[in-house]
């Protein structure tokens, strides 16, 4: 790929159901604002392109022309040097070879679109430019002279423009971000001008979707109504219904979609949308009935079965439905809606979708000092009873001048493992814990730091996220558990890691254990090194590492059904031990460990109810 920029232009997908599966999130390629830095970079590309043009290396010069336009599409000098290059090679036909349509770099494709327009091939040019805009919608790709030509709408055909609008919408949020709207308006004006020639049903339908995304609901309704009136069929009804829904006229959407399905029972995706809309408005039984009928008729439907499981979860809150969704997605990896629904629903569940915070006294103090911006405090604080080594390590990472002492170890002794273990992360000298493992290499530390995340779209997604750690030696991963990177170096946005440093360290430890879960993945689970190490960490001295290892076991269970009973047995055994200890002293990790058990929906209902009661009591006491 061309090294001038990070934006890439994705493959063409010709869909007719604009919802773009509307419930799906849109993955946008990162696009930087064309501010001062981008302008300077683009000007530099122009200067280099002109120097290389003078040397006669036209292919190399074309790379830098594409770099200039890809960095700042509105820079006049970039388009001037493109014109110079075209003149040097003998015209736009020859220049097309320098900007191949197979490229995935947006700057190259934007140049090609301009050349196609110059060759009086506006339909191809608009379709290509729409794809470029979808890849990086914040950049002013449409601020080009050929698109502003008042004669352009009269030369465009409705069918290619419909394809272009669809392609653009597939890359946009709904609604688009405020900073993207201005960059997209010139293209929308071209669409408006073409529609003014006369109503084209399909173009009016997709244009309604574009107007909705741009926040012009009145225009979205107008074009949606025109699409239905002029015979756009189900497509028009889908678009008008979405516009009505955005306008708050939900009952009209339900009536319209119900009528459309009665007239065309084959609109199975619209049945799913209608069912979910019914559930959203408090008519879930009707929605469930629609989905159950559809799944009975089309059991392999890529959206109906996931939607049914998702709606059942919404009805009773049983995470077993989310496990079924995960298993469904494993069996049907092309059914992306199943993965989306899992990610959407797990976020409110500890460990299923997010790491939990620390509850220790030293963590509470740390948060207060961080909030007061008092990180230089020094001296010694005394706690009544030993707290987990990872919690103390987190305090020292942020406030190294504050020493912590303990009045007693507590009984039962938290320094002792829950079973015979061969892997230890911590060693004790009296009440003080020290790493029992060597520090990791800078490379391993950086890799873990970049992968650490406080939330994830489901356990299997987190398991997959950690695959990059599969090749890191276990000794180094164990080293990161006791020598975590400082939260000051975290790549999280907004300084969140420093606001809640316990979340940072616990996220680091969680992704480390996920990496261990990938160690020697070729070994059968029952006799594997990864299982032995994770179980040792789970049964180690009372610490956050026990929770991180537990989450790695949970994720393994979600990803590999054959491991579930084994995983659950180990978790229940460790939680049972902590419950016995909690009868005599506080166990700060108990509630979180119980949440890990609840993250195993394959636990029988009575057991889940018992653990849920324990969690409720613990959190009520807190």
Peptide bond into 221 cis (omega under 30): no
3-state helix, strand, coil in the chain (%, to 5): 65, 5, 35
Domain CATH number, residue 184: 1.25.40
Distances (CA, A) of 290 to 255, 261, 528: 15, 11, 46
Give the β-pairing of 426-429 and 432-435. Answer: antiparallel
Output the DSSP codes for 25-65: PP-PPP----SHHHHHHHHHHHHHHHHHHHHT-HHHHHHHH
Question: What's the confidence (pLDDT) of residue 13?
Answer: 31
For the four alpha carbons of 518, 519, 522 and 523, in that order, the dihedral sign comes to negative
Question: What's the confidence (pLDDT) of residue 508?
Answer: 98
Q: Is there a single domain that holds both residue 550 and residue 435? A: yes
Q: Is there a single domain that holds both residue 247 and residue 273? A: no
Q: Which of 448, 555, 443 minimizes the C-alpha distance to 511?
A: 448
Split into its structural domains, the chain has a count of 4
Domain that holds residue 94: 32-119
In a domain, 352, yes or no: no
Among residues 119, 138, 157, the one where a domain terminates is 119
| pLDDT tens for each residue of 207-259 | 999 999 999 999 999 999 999 999 999 999 999 999 999 999 999 999 999 99
Q: Is there a single domain that holds both residue 465 and residue 583? A: yes
Q: Is there a single domain that holds both residue 325 and residue 183? A: no
Q: Is there a single domain that holds both residue 291 and residue 408? A: no
In a domain, 96, yes or no: yes
Among residues 119, 146, 164, the one where a domain terminates is 119
In a domain, 474, yes or no: yes
Q: Are 560 and 330 in contact (CB under 8 A)?
A: no
Q: Is there a single domain that holds both residue 156 and residue 111? A: no
Q: Is there a single domain that holds both residue 608 and residue 580? A: yes
Q: Which of 595, 608, 538 minimizes the C-alpha distance to 566?
A: 538
Q: Is there a single domain that holds both residue 437 and residue 478? A: yes
Work out the end-to-end distance of the chain between its first and last CA atoms, rounded to an integer number of angstroms: 54
Q: Is there a single domain that holds both residue 166 and residue 75? A: no
Question: What's the confidence (pLDDT) of residue 2?
Answer: 32
Task: Report d(CA 69, CA 121) in Å as an integer.
Answer: 20
Q: Is there a single domain that holds both residue 503 and residue 407? A: yes
Task: Report d(CA 367, CA 497) in Å as an integer.
Answer: 11
Backbone angles phi, psi at 156, to 5 degrees: -90, 145
Among residues 346, 381, 413, the one where a domain terminates is 346
Residue ranges of the chain whose pLDDT lies below 50: 1-34
Residues 6+ apart with CB under 8 A from 563: 525, 556, 557
Crossing angle for the helix pair 564-582 and 544-559, to the nearest 10 degrees: 150
In a domain, 22, yes or no: no
Question: What's the confidence (pLDDT) of residue 35?
Answer: 61
In a domain, 1, yes or no: no
**String of b and e for 57-73 (b: at least 16 CB within 10 Å)?**
ebeebbbbbbbbbbbbb
In a domain, 225, yes or no: yes
The secondary structure element, H or E, covering residue 404 is strand 402-408
In a domain, 354, yes or no: no
In a domain, 10, yes or no: no
Can you read off the two tokens belonging to residue 576? 């049972």
Q: Which of 96, 101, 76, 74 minimizes the C-alpha distance to 85?
A: 96
Task: Report d(CA 272, CA 393) in Å as an integer.
Answer: 50
Output the DSSP codes for 571-622: HHHHHHHHHHHHTTS--TTHHHHHHHHHT-TTS-HHHHHHHHHHHHHHHHH-
Distances (CA, A) of 599 to 115, 260, 349, 554: 56, 41, 8, 7
Task: Report d(CA 421, CA 472) in Å as an integer.
Answer: 22
Question: What's the confidence (pLDDT) of residue 39?
Answer: 84
Distances (CA, A) of 112 to 101, 117, 127: 7, 9, 11
Residues 6+ apart with CB under 8 A from 111: 62, 65, 66, 69, 82, 99
Can you read off the two tokens belonging to residue 408? 């007693």
CA angle 205, 223, 213 (to 5 degrees): 75
Q: Is there a single domain that holds both residue 159 and residue 237? A: yes
Q: Is there a single domain that holds both residue 420 and residue 469? A: yes
């Amino acid at each position: 790929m061309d090294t001038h920029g990070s934006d890439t232009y994705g493959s063409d997908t010709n869909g007719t159901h604009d919802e773009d599966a509307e419930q799906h999130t849109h993955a946008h390629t990162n696009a930087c604002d064309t501010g001062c830095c981008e302008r300077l970079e683009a000007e530099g590309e122009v200067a280099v392109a002109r120097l290389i043009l003078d040397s006669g290396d036209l292919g190399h010069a074309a790379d830098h022309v594409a770099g200039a336009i890809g960095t700042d599409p509105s820079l006049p000098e970039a388009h001037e040097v493109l014109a110079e290059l075209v003149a040097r090679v003998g015209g736009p036909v020859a220049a097309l070879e320098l900007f191949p349509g197979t490229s995935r770099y947006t700057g190259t494709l934007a140049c090609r679109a301009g050349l196609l327009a110059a060759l009086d091939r506006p339909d191809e040019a608009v379709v290509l430019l729409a794809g470029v805009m979808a890849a990086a919608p914040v950049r002013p790709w449409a601020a080009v002279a050929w698109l502003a030509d008042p004669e352009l709408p009269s030369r465009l055909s409705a069918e290619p423009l419909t394809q272009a609008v669809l392609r653009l919408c597939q890359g946009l949020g709904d609604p688009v971000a405020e900073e993207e709207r201005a960059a997209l308006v010139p293209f929308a004006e071209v669409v408006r001008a073409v529609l003014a020639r006369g109503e084209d049903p399909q173009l009016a339908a997709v244009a309604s979707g574009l107007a909705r995304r741009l926040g012009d609901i009145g225009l979205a309704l107008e074009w949606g109504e025109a699409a239905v009136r002029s015979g756009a069929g189900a497509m028009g009804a889908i678009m008008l219904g979405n516009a009505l829904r955005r306008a708050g006229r939900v009952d009209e959407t339900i009536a319209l979609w119900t009528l459309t399905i009665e007239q065309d029972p084959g609109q199975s995706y619209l049945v799913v949308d209608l069912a979910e809309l019914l559930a959203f408005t408090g008519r879930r039984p009707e929605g469930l009935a629609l989905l159950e009928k559809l799944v009975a008729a089309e059991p392999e439907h890529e959206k109906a079965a996931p939607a049914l499981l998702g709606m059942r979860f919404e009805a009773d809150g049983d995470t077993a439905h989310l496990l079924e969704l995960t298993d469904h997605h494993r069996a049907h990896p092309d059914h992306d809606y199943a993965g989306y629904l899992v990610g959407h629903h797990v976020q409110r569940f500890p460990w299923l979708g997010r790491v939990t915070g620390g509850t220790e006294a030293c963590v509470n103090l740390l948060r207060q000092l961080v909030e007061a911006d008092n990180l230089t405090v020094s001296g010694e604080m005394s706690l009544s009873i030993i707290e987990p080594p990872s919690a103390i390590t987190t305090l020292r990472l942020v406030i190294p001048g504050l020493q912590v002492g303990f009045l007693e170890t507590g009984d039962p002794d938290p320094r002792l493992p829950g079973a015979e273990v061969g892997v230890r992360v911590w060693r004790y000298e009296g009440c003080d814990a020290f790493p029992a493992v060597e520090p990791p290499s800078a490379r391993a530390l950086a890799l873990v730091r970049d992968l650490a995340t406080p939330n994830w779209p489901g356990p299997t997604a987190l398991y997959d996220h950690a695959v990059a750690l599969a090749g890191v030696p276990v000794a180094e991963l164990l080293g990161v558990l006791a020598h975590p990177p400082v939260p000051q170096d975290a790549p999280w946005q907004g300084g969140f890691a420093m606001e809640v440093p316990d979340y940072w360290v616990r996220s680091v430890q969680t992704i480390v254990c996920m990496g261990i879960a990938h160690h020697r993945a070729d070994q059968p689970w029952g006799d594997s090194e990864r299982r032995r190490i994770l179980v040792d960490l789970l049964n180690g001295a009372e610490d956050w590492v026990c929770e991180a290892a537990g989450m790695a076991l949970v994720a393994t269970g979600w990803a590999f059904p054959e491991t579930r009973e084994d995983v659950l047995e180990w978790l229940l055994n460790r939680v049972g031990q902590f419950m016995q200890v909690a009868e005599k002293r506080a166990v700060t990790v108990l509630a979180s460990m119980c949440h890990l058990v609840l993250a195993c929906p394959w636990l029988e209902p009575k057991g889940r109810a018992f653990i849920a009661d324990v969690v409720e009591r613990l959190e009520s006491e807190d």
